[in-house]
Structure 1
Amino acid sequence: DPSTPVIEEPMTPVTATYDLEATTLTSKIKADSKLEREKLSSMQKMMVSFLQGALQDKREGNEERYNDLISQLTMKPYLPGAPSPSKLNMWIKLLSQIVTQLDRSCNTLVEAVLSVDWTIQESAFVDQYIGFIGNLVSAHTYYVRPVFEHLVQHLTFRHRLPEDAIVTRSMIYQRVHNALRYVLSLIPTSATKLLNILGETFPHKRFNVAEQATYVNNLLETIDYAPILRKQVLGLIIEKIILIDVEIQIELEDLEDEVEIDAFDLNFNADYDEEEEEDSDADSDDEDDGEDAVAQDSDSDEELDSDGETETRTATHIKTLVKKLDAMLHLVFRYLKEFHSNPNTAPEERQQLFFFLLDLFDRTVLRTFKSRYTQFLIFYFCSLDTITYPDAFLGHLFNNTFETSKPTVTRIASAAYISSYVARAKYIGRTSLRSSIYILTSWCEQYIDANEVSVTGPDVNKHPVFYAVVQAIMYIFCFRWRELVDDGFDDILNDDTMDVEDPVRRMSGVDGDILTGGIGGSFGAQVAGQKWCLGLQAVQRIVTSNLNPLKVCAPAVVRQFSKVAHQSNFLYVYPILERNKSVFYSTNDSSAHVRIESFFPFDPYQLKSSKHFVDSIYREWIADDDDEEDSDDEDEDDEDDEDVSAGMMAMSISPSPNQRMIGSLLAQRP
C-alpha cells in the first residue's frame, strides 16, 4: 500500500558498530583527560605548598628548599632528574601568582627563572614566561635591568639548537623582541636602560661574521618598537662599523687588491662554523716566542717561508674583517632604504635622521682618515632625496672647509669630501656641480688676495687648506669637465645670491704661459673654441699664483688635471710643471718636500654583499684613450706614484706612508 510508510533497514550494521566504538573512545579520552587534570591539579597543589614553604623557610633563615627550587630551575634539560617543560611551565605560572613576594631578597630565584631557556619551548610556555616577566617588572622595577640583560643575550647569534628543536633562530629572536616590546609597553621609561644594555652586549669586533650580523640585524629590529632609540642604536652600530673599517685599512693597504672577499649570505637561520678569534694568530706567535730562538744561521728559505705564512695569516685576517664589515653595512643600507621608503615614515622623521647622520658624520667619520667604507652610508642616504639632502650635505662641507675656527684637519678633510662627493655622486646635478666650482674658486681668489703679497713660494704648513681646496677643484674638473663646458644656459647666472661683478663673463682662453687652442688630444678637437662655466676663469690665477699649488698638490692629481685641462683646451700648465722641477723648499724648513697627498673618501666601493646599494648612484672614472700613453715628460718628482689613470680610478683614502703633512696634522688634533 503506497500510503503505508516504509521503514528502511540500515544499509550495513557497520555504522552502528562504528558509532558505538567512537562513543566508547570519546568516553575513554574524557576519563583519561579527567585523570590527567586531577594529576596536574594534585601536582600543582604540591608545588604551591613547596613554593610557599620554601619562601617561608627562607624568611626564617632556612634556605634548603629555596635552593632546591633554584637547582630545579637551573638544571640542564639533558641531565637526569631535570624538570620537564610542563613542570617548568607550572613553576613559572605559580611564581607569576606570587610575584609581589619576589623582592630583592629573592633575586637569586628571579635570576634562576630568567636563565630558563624559554625561547625554544612551546608557544604556551613562551606566553606564560613573557607574562611572568611583565608581572615581575610591573611589581618591582628594579628587576628591569636583569630582565633586559637576559633578554638581550638571546639576541646574539645562537650557535647550537637542540636536535629536537621546534623553532628556528629567527623564531627565537622574534620571541625575544615580543618580550622586549611588552616590557617597554609596561615601562616606557626603561628605554634608556635597554639602550645601555644593547651597547654592553654588542659582540667584540673579533667575533665572527654571524655574531656581528645577527646582532646588528636584531638591533635594527628593536627600532621598530622603540623608535625613540633610532638615533642612538644607529649611532652605536655605525661606531662599531667604523672600528672594523679602520682596522682593515691599518693592516691592509698593500694586500687589498690581493685578497678575494666572500660575501656573507645573511641567512640568520643557518649554522655557521665558530671561527676562531682573530687574535689567535697573535697568541700563537707569543707561544712561538717562548720557544727556543731560531739559530742565527737559519736557512734563508725558512725565513721566506715564515714571511709567507705571516702574509697568509694577515690576508685571512683581513678577509674575515672585510666580510664582517660588508655584512654590517649591508644591513644598515637596507634599514635606511626601508625606513625612507616606508609610507608611514613622516617627512620630519626622514629629515631628523638625515641631520643625525650628518652630526654622526662630523663626530666619527669626518676626522677618521682611515675610514674606507663607512662614509658611504651618508653618500647613499643623500641619494634618497636628491632635491634636499645633497645640497644640504655640500653646504655643511663648505661651511666646515671655510670656517676658520674649525681645526685644520677638519677643514682639509671637508675639502677632500667635497671633491670626492661632487666627482663621484651621480645624483649631483649640473647646477650643484657648477655652484660648487664657483664657490671653491671664489674662495681661492679671496685667499690669494689676502695672502699672495707676503708669499714667496709654496708653503704647505702655512696654507694647507688652500692647497686642499685647489686639489678639490682639479679633481672635480678631471671627472666632470664635460659638464663645465658652457652651453649658453649657465645655471649659476640665474642664482641671485651669487655676487658676480660681470655675470656674463665667460672663459674661452688665457694668455702668457697658460696656452689654449686646438692642440690635439683625443677629445681636444671636439671642444676647441668652447667656453667654460662661471668660476673656472679663476683657475688660471690660482695655478699661477705665488702659492704654486701645482708643486704641492698630489702628483697624480696634478698630472691628470694637466692632461685633461690640455686635451679639453681649458689650460696648458706643462710649463709650470717644468719650472716646478727647479723649485725647492728652504733647507731650513723641516717640512721640505711635503705635499698634499691624495685623500678621496669615496673611492670605488668593493664590498660584494652591499655593493649594489651604491652601484647605480656612483660615477666611475672613465679613462680616455690617451691615458695609456707614456707621460714621462710630466711631473717625475715622485717616482713612487702609480699610473695617473689608475690613481684616478682608485685614489686610496688611506694616507700613504709618506703622507707626512696629513699625519702631522692628525697628531695635532685636539
Structure 2
Amino acid sequence: MGVEFRDDESGFREIGDHDLIYRARKTLCSVASGDTEDYRELLSAMNREKLGIEEVAMLVTNLNALSGSVTYIENVQHDELLSAIFDRSLWNYKPDVMDALIKFIKLLAISSGKYVDRCLEILTHQFCPPDILPLLKILARKDQVLSRVHSALKYIADMMPLSPMRLGPIVLDGMPPDRCSKIRTPSLVIYVENMLKLDLGGFVRNLMLAGVVDLLLNLDLQINNSSKGIFEMEQEDVNESTDHDLNDDSERPRQLSPEAKAIAEKLDSLMVLIFEHLESCGGHLIQTFQTLLDSFMKTVLTAYKSKFSQFVIFYACALDPGNCGVTFALKLEDKFFCSTDFPNIRMSAVAYLASYLSRAKFLSVSVVAGTLERLVDWCFKYIEMQDDEINPEVHRIFYSGCQAIMYILCFRMRSMMGDPQLKPWLVRLPLEWILNNKLSPLKVCLPSIVLEFLRQAKAARLFMTSEKFNFDDYLESERSREYGGMERLDMFFPFDPCLLKKSDSCIRPNFIFWSMVQPTYDDEDSSDEDVGEAFAGDDDDDGGMDYGIMQSLEAQHFDFDEFDSSLNKMSITPKDSLHSRFGGAINQPMRMPSRIRPSTSPESL
C-alpha cells in the first residue's frame, strides 16, 4: 500500500513500502558519514509528544520503515532513536500504533543478540500501565496491550530459544520492592497478573511464581515496618496494668499508618490474584505446589515477621488436601525433626505445623493424629536422653514441640476422643510422662495454652492421674519468653485468622475458627467437679482463642479503615491474665490465646 512521503522540495509523490524502507536505511547509514540532517528530522518526528491524525500516520509509517531496516541499526550511533521509540508506552496509543511498535520490537530483538535484553525490557515494562493513565482507559486497553505483548514475547522465545532464560530476571527486576509500595494497586495487580500469565516453559513459570511469593512476603513485612510498635500492647492490658509500668505512652497501641493500610490493600488484592491462579492450574497444581513449597521453605518460613503471605500455601493445600495438604505437613514435620537446621528454623517449622494442623478444616483427623503421634514420639525420645532440670534456652526446641502438641490438642482433642479408634490410641500416648518430668514443659510453655490443654485433658479424663497437675502452678510462668527468644516464637501461630478483607473471604470456607471448636469440657457427658472448681467463674462464651475479633470476623469482613482497631483488639495475652499473673485473683482463668496477632510476630517484642 502506497503512502505520501516527502521526497524533495518540489512536493509529494506516491511511494511504496520498499521505497520507505530504502529511505530509512539510507537515513540510518548517513549517520556514520556525518550527514545527520535526515536522521535529525527522523528523530524530531519520533520525539513529538502531541500527535494529531497526520503525526500518528507518520509515526506508523516511520516505525514500519524502520522495522524493515533493523539490521542497519547500530547501538551507539542510533541510541537516541532507540530511546525515542522505547520510551513510548503501548498504553498511550490505539491499535495501529501498538502494532507498529510491537512489529519493530520483535524484528529488532531477533536481528541481533545485542538487542534482546533491551527489547524484553520494553515489552515487560508494558506489564505496568502508566500511573498517569486513568483507570477507565487502563481497563479499556488492557486486553489490547497485553495480548500483543505476550504474543511478541512468545514470538521472540520461538525465534531465540535462550531468551526465556534472560526474561525471568528482567521481569523480577522490573518490580523492585521499593516500587511496589508506591505504584497504584491496579497497576501492581496487572503487573503480577502478567507475571503469572507468562507461559514460556517450566523455568519461567517456576521463577515467576517464586518471584510473586517473594513480592507478597516483601509487602507483608512492609506492613509490619510501616506500623512498627502498633502491636506491642493490647489496650485492655495497658489499662489494667498501671501498677507495673506498662502504661507508658510509648507502649500504647498506635494507629495503623495510611502507608501500612495502602500496602495491606495491595497485598490483599495480590493474594486473591494468586488464589485464582492456583485454582486455574487444574491438573498442574501438584507441580505448581512444589514450586510454591520450595519458595515457602526458603523465604516465608525463615521470615518470622510474616503475617499474611503464608496463607497462599494454605490455600493451595485446601485445593488438594490429599496431596498438597499432606505434603506440606510432612515437609514441616521433617524440618522440625532435622537436627542440622538452626533452632529458630525448627521452632518456626513446628509453630507452622501446629497452627496448620489446628486450623485446616480440610485435613482429616487421621492425618492430624499421625503427625501428633510422631511429635509425641520425638519428645518422648528427647526426654529419655536428658538428665537435666528446667532450662528454656537449652531445651527450647523440645519446649516448642510440647507446645505444638498441646496447641493441636486444644483444637482436635474432642474429635479424637469421639472417635472409637482414636480415643484409646490418644489415651495410650505418653503425654503425661512427657509433660510431667524434670524439664517441666507445663511451667515453660505459654500459660494460656497450657491451661486450656489441661482443662480439656481433665474433662476428657485423658490422664489417669490428673491430680498431679495443679492448675495454679502454671499461672506464674514467664519462662516461655526465654525459650521463645527475641523472636517470641513461643507466641508465633502463623495461621491464625487472616484480617485481610478479600483474602479472608477465600480462606474462611476451609478454616477452623476457635469459636467453631467444641472443647471437651462442653461435653454434656463431662461433669467433672474439679474442673468446675478449678475454673470457677469462667463463662467462656467469647470466642476463646479468637477472643476479641470473632464477632467482627464472623459477622463481616474487615474494612481497611477498621484494620488498625481490629488489630488492637487481638492479643496473645488473655483477658484478665496479666492481673492473674502479677498477683491478682487466681480463680480468674486464663483463656486460650486470642489470635496471635501480627504484633506478636518476632520484632514487636
Name which of 164, 177, 191 aligns with 1:191: 164
Q: State whether residues 422 and 476 of structure 1, in contact with CA within 8 Å, keep that contact through their aligned partners in structure 2.
A: yes
Task: Return the alpha-carbon distance in structure 1 between the equivalents of residues 136 and 155 of structure 2.
Answer: 28
Equivalences for residues 37-56 of structure 1 within 5 A: 41-42=14-15, 51-56=24-29
Q: State whether residues 307 and 601 of structure 2, in contact with CA within 8 Å, keep that contact through their aligned partners in structure 1.
A: no
Structure 1 gap ranges (5+): 1-32, 259-303, 491-530, 661-670
Task: Give the aligned partner of residue 196 of structure 2.
Answer: 220
Give 1:93's aligned amino acid.
N
Task: Return the alpha-carbon distance in structure 2 between the equivalents of residues 47 and 320 of structure 1.
Answer: 51
Displacement after TM superposition at 1:580 (Å)? 5.5
Render the CA deviation track for 1:612-669: whole Å, top value 9, x for unaligned: 321111111136675528998999436899x978654412355368987xxxxxxxxx
Task: Give the aligned partner of residue 286 of structure 1.
Answer: none
Task: Return the alpha-carbon distance in structure 2 between the equivalents of residues 446 and 575 of structure 1.
Answer: 22
Equivalences for residues 16-415 of structure 1 within 5 A: 41-42=14-15, 51-78=24-51, 84-104=55-75, 105-161=77-133, 168-202=141-175, 204-207=179-182, 208-222=184-198, 224-252=199-227, 255=230, 311=254, 314-339=256-281, 341=282, 345=283, 349-415=284-350
Q: State whether residues 351 and 400 of structure 2, in contact with CA within 8 Å, keep that contact through their aligned partners in structure 1.
A: yes
Displacement after TM superposition at 1:465 (Å)? 0.9
Task: Give the aligned partner of residue 596 of structure 2.
Answer: 651
Q: Does residue 628 of structure 1 match 2:540?
A: yes
Task: Return the alpha-carbon distance in structure 2 between the equivalents of residues 163 and 199 of structure 1.
Answer: 24
Displacement after TM superposition at 1:596 (Å)? 6.4
Q: Does residue 540 of structure 1 match 2:432?
A: yes
Structure 2 gap ranges (5+): 7-11, 234-248, 523-537, 542-573
Render the CA deviation track for 1:402-433: whole Å, top value 9, x for unaligned: 11111101111111111111110011101111
Task: Return the alpha-carbon distance in structure 2 between the equivalents of residues 647 and 40 of structure 1.
Answer: 87
Normalising by structure 1, we get a TM-score of 0.69
Task: Return the alpha-carbon distance in structure 1 between the equivalents of residues 513 and 277 of structure 2.
Answer: 26
Task: Return the alpha-carbon distance in structure 2 between the equivalents of residues 422 and 135 of structure 1.
Answer: 54
Q: State whether residues 21 and 68 of structure 2, in contact with CA within 8 Å, keep that contact through their aligned partners in structure 1.
A: no
Q: Does residue 560 of structure 1 match 2:452?
A: yes
Task: Give the aligned partner of residue 376 of structure 2.
Answer: 441
Displacement after TM superposition at 1:230 (Å)? 0.9
Task: Return the alpha-carbon distance in structure 2 between the equivalents of residues 615 and 232 of structure 1.
Answer: 29
Task: Give the aligned partner of residue 530 of structure 2.
Answer: none
Render the CA deviation track for 1:559-616: whole Å, top value 9, x for unaligned: 211222223332447844434678898xxx9999998632111000121122232111
Task: Return the alpha-carbon distance in structure 1 between the equivalents of residues 435 and 2 of structure 2.
Answer: 97
Name which of 498, 501, 505 aligns with 1:605: 498
Q: Identify if the C-alpha distance between structure 1 residues 397 and 532 changes in structure 2 by more than 3 Å, giving closer, same or farther.
A: same
Task: Give the aligned partner of residue 243 of structure 2.
Answer: none
Displacement after TM superposition at 1:92 (Å)? 1.5
Give 1:322's aligned amino acid.
A
Q: Identify if the C-alpha distance between structure 1 residues 238 and 631 changes in structure 2 by more than 3 Å, giving closer, same or farther.
A: closer
Task: Return the alpha-carbon distance in structure 2 between the equivalents of residues 87 and 44 of structure 1.
Answer: 13
Task: Give the aligned partner of residue 366 of structure 2.
Answer: 431
Give the greater-gyration-radius structure (CA). 1
Task: Return the alpha-carbon distance in structure 1 between the equivalents of residues 589 and 153 of structure 2.
Answer: 55
Secondary structure of the corresponding residue to residue 372 of structure 1 = coil
Equivalences for residues 411-560 of structure 1 within 5 A: 411-451=346-386, 454-455=387-388, 457-485=389-417, 487-490=419-422, 531-534=423-426, 537-560=429-452
How well do the aligned residues superpose, as a CA RMSD in angstroms? 4.0
Q: State whether residues 109 and 156 of structure 2, in contact with CA within 8 Å, keep that contact through their aligned partners in structure 1.
A: yes
Displacement after TM superposition at 1:76 (Å)? 0.6
Q: State whether residues 492 and 600 of structure 2, in contact with CA within 8 Å, keep that contact through their aligned partners in structure 1.
A: yes
Percent identity of equivalent pairs: 26
Name which of 608, 633, 637 aligns with 2:581: 637
Secondary structure of the corresponding residue to residue 305 of structure 2 = coil
Task: Return the alpha-carbon distance in structure 1 between the equivalents of residues 443 and 220 of structure 2.
Answer: 32
Q: Identify if the C-alpha distance between structure 1 residues 596 and 73 changes in structure 2 by more than 3 Å, giving closer, same or farther.
A: closer
Displacement after TM superposition at 1:380 (Å)? 1.2
Q: State whether residues 217 and 331 of structure 1, in contact with CA within 8 Å, keep that contact through their aligned partners in structure 2.
A: yes
Normalising by structure 2, we get a TM-score of 0.76
Secondary structure of the corresponding residue to residue 392 of structure 2 = coil
